[in-house]
Amino acid sequence: MADDGAENPGWRLAKGLRGGLRGLMAAAVDAVYPPVCAGCGRLTGQHRGVCPACWATLRLIERPYCEVLGLPFSHDLGAGILSADAIANPPVFERLRSAAIHDGIAKALVHGLKYRDRTDLAVMMAQWMIRASDGTVAACDAIVPVPLHAFRLFGRKFNQSAELARAIARSSGKPYLATVLIRHRRTAQQVGLGASQRAENVRGAFSVTEDGRAALFGKRIVLVDDVYTTGATVSAATRALKRAGAGDVTVLTFARAMSGLI
């Protein structure tokens, strides 16, 4: 049977008025906050976009790449090929995926989100991360952010990894487990530390709550962070997730550092 509302002229008029009102509100917002490039601030045709000049600096990570570490190869070596580092030093997580190399506009977006309180960038960045996840977001059971220590969270006001994870979960419809993983030990800033120093700095820094163990047991988890550098932080976090019973952990970051690319 046809929906009687669809045939009602008053219903159609009300629907048209609501649509027109939304259009006027959007136009008013654009007049006050015009759509600008997320990188340089130039005017663009739509919100949550970048201008052609900034887009040209974006180095998206595309296949071919190492199936485990996501390291891009200079040429296609065939399906399932692993990098030398993945073979010699297998990570504790199952796979790593990142959207872009950490330079140009990608670096600017990370810094904007992390240091300039541009939490509005998280939605756009999350879309690129979902695309880069190689289907792991669609296949996972839950999204978990790399947490900040409570003291640092108080000082920074928000956790950039949590903003990205929340946006990914909302867009994909996957459960967002914001509090199962905690950073119970305050650590020094990782910036400026070498690989071994970074690993020692975050050793044993993470744990899973009692309630979190039930939520994680046997589950496929996507662990979200903003940037992958040496892997020390996400490796320490993955160990905590695995000890709690997580069955499969994919690390998903917006960007990854240049070191180690082949």
Looking at the structure of the chain, the number of domains it has is 1
> Cα separation of 104 and 86, whole Å?
27
Q: pTM of the predicted model, to two decimals?
A: 0.82
Between strands 248-256 and 220-228, the pairing is: parallel
Look at residue 262 and tell me if it is in a domain: no
Look at residue 202 and tell me if it is in a domain: yes
Look at residue 135 and tell me if it is in a domain: yes
Look at residue 38 and tell me if it is in a domain: no
What is the per-residue pLDDT across 25-52, written as a single tens digit (0 to 9) for each?
A: 444 444 445 788 888 888 776 766 788 8
Look at residue 232 and tell me if it is in a domain: yes
State the average pLDDT over residues 101-125: 92
Instruction: Indicate the DSSP class of residue 10.
Output: H
Look at residue 11 and tell me if it is in a domain: no
Look at residue 261 and tell me if it is in a domain: no
Least confident of 29-43, 46-60, 68-82, 108-122: 29-43
Look at residue 248 and tell me if it is in a domain: yes
Identify the CATH number of the domain in which residue 184 sits.
3.40.50
What is the per-residue pLDDT across 174-198, written as a single tens digit (0 to 9) for each?
A: 999 999 999 887 665 666 566 777 6
Domain extent, residue 172, equals 60-256
Cα distances (angstroms) measured from residue 76 to each of 89, 101, 213: 22, 19, 40
